[in-house]
Structure 1
Amino acid sequence: MTSLRMRIALLLIVAIITVVGLATLAAVSVIGEPEPEGGLQPVLRQVELLARVASENGERARAAGIDIRDQPAAGQQDAKLTRILGNTLRDRGAAPAAVVTSTPGRVGKTASVQLPDSHWLVVDFPDFSPPRDAWFVLAGWITLIVLGVTVVALYFTSVLTRPLEMLQAAVARIGPDGVLAPLPETGSGELRATARALNHLSARLKAAMEGRMRLVAAAGHDLRTPMTRLRLRAEFLPEEDREKWLNDLDELDRIADSAISLVREEVQSQDLSEPVALDRLLKEIVSELTALKLRARLVSADQACVRAGALNLRRALRNLIVNAATHGKGATVELQTSNGQAIVTISDDGPGIPPELLDKAFEPFFRVDPARRQSVPGAGLGLAIAKEIIDRYGGTITLANRPGGGLVQKIAFNRA
């Protein structure tokens, strides 16, 4: 039982039932068990009077309908009531034999008092013992208490944990930019203070991220001027050194362009209500890359429509397919629909990514080779930009190595 709500509810239920039980025990201990003699005194008085009447004139007693027999009534003797009846008769000056019996299937008991002439007076005797189903009544009473306490505990537990549910919902609404949605500063004092603190935290996070993005964009932009000067100076270098300098400057240029593009993807937003035909988009991208002499093919494409920004989604998928076509020796693209989702699978035949580096593949400027040797151009931001776009439109992307070699990129979107 790991739920805080269930723990609080169980605590309340146990506490209330324990208090009720202790209060009941205390009340029973103070009041005490009622003495049976006190409740039986009127009945015992009547039995005594009937015994006297029957002793003085048996014939008249029989004529009056009093039951007088030669033997006491049959049945199982009730020792406690027999003792009480005998003590009462002796206390009142009479000392006859007396017995109280009960008969199975018969309601009540029977009192038999011996008369002086050895006959027996037989009278009905009320049964003051607890009902036979007393335990069922007690169990029903306890069940009602438990049910009532459970309902009350669950209600108040729900009230107590409602602020936590609000905080959980707020955290679940964190946007792709990592910023919390504004929380309403209403409710109790503690709840308002918590919401206010989270709103301040969200504002500070947003300001910090925007500052970071401006810094990266400014750095990428400021690199343009010195790189242009270096490119001009490289023209005057000897032929054997000029090509190396120009290659390094081209790589710096790509890094700067990719950094600026990454910043734009993180700070810009696009309408999510635009339906995009994913199968048509993949066909266009694969045709474009094939025309550029890249090894890419679309083996299957189910019809699927998703809600996203068409231009940004094209860019993300193009980056992923280009990555497989260049670094993976060819890209194989599939589009399948299942359980309300559109799943794009991009496979290649390259070396893949070491398992310990799969979680770092979406970090900016990531390279599998720590020495940064590269046989194809790239700044290491293609996967980072693609993931930023896919996350923004509610999709997911995962990477996995194929058993026979190569990398599998799987992208899933909810169908529109």
Structure 2
Amino acid sequence: MRLPDSEWRHWPGMDALLAALDAERGKVRFVGGAVRDSLLGIAVEDVDCATVFPPDEVMQRLEGADIKVVPTGLKHGTVTAIIDGKPIEVTTLRRDVDTDGRHATIEYSEDWEEDAARRDFTINALSADPLSGEIFDYFGGEADLEARRVRFIGLPAERIAEDHLRILRFFRFHARFGAGLPNPAGLAAAEKHAKSLMALSRERIADELLKILALPDPSDTVVLMIERGIFAPVLPEIASADALARLIRREQSFDQPGDPVRRLAALLPPEPDTATAVATRLKLSRAQRKRLATATARIPGDTAEPRALAYRHSMEGAIDRLLLCPTNDTVTGDALAHLTANPPPAHMPLKGGELIAMGVEAGPEVAIMLREIEDVWIAEDFPDEARVREIAREIISFA
């Protein structure tokens, strides 16, 4: 098998990069995801290369060819070349000297198979000659690709001990590339060593979890992860995937893009305090924390007033709540269609200064009265400016 002659292999500047790294003498190869995805016919966005040259020589060679290069990961043997605005990671062949489940101490190598053996799964260990397209497969990755099988290189328990995050990566790659049940040996090792996830930073767990949830339909895989106790050590709040499966079906039915934060909300109880605690534990961004709390505050009544919901929580927040709302699909679909066709105004057409001009004394009372007016305006489904002024006069007269 040879690497397909894909468009990414002809990006402007690619020939110059390969020449600088002596591709003619086999000193550089394409590795990892670009090779795997090209063989699967999947569009390639990120390209990685491996080379026998040490990082300082890689930088000298690339700079000598007028290619911009950034020392993005020198301690790991990685630099990033920029060609036509696209980043290409170039990493020196390596061997692991020591690992602690989170980090590895490495030495540089000139052995392609030794470097490939460091990778987690056979389908990620494929490499290709950039000129001839010849595929180098040391661990049966091509057969696993054809069988849609995600399999650890070597003993799964040993690979997990090197980096505990590989437990979550195993499920992510199965959800993306696998068919049927996961590889039994990998699944057994992941289940047995699930508690080792507690040694990882919560940021790494969050990043991998959101990548899983961003896949087109990871619901079956998430069910399996719950059944095998994978979440229990770090996210015991995730106990059912029923709401996730319903959400994904609705996203597809109502032509809404799948969103990982919304899908995380589906996995959590409808309790904003719990969502906030989980978001804090995972060290999500402030915007993600707010969105998660809003989404988990869903109630059946959300579909009755979708425009009011969007005004108070943004269109994004309202769409989250409607898709997650525990009502039937017809009611949800009607509410979404109504909201999409009739989004609420961005703000109420009345300011505090206008209230003062109408006789309200400047001070805290202005803000209080504005909120009262806004509540009536929202309840009346956002009438025009003339009606807002009528509402204001009515409230002023009773003050």
For the criterion TM > 0.5, the same-fold answer is no
What is the TM-score of this pair, normalised by structure 2?
0.21
Question: What TM-score, normalized to structure 1?
Answer: 0.20
Higher alpha-carbon Rg: 1
| Larger RCO (alpha carbons 8 Å, 6+ apart) | 1
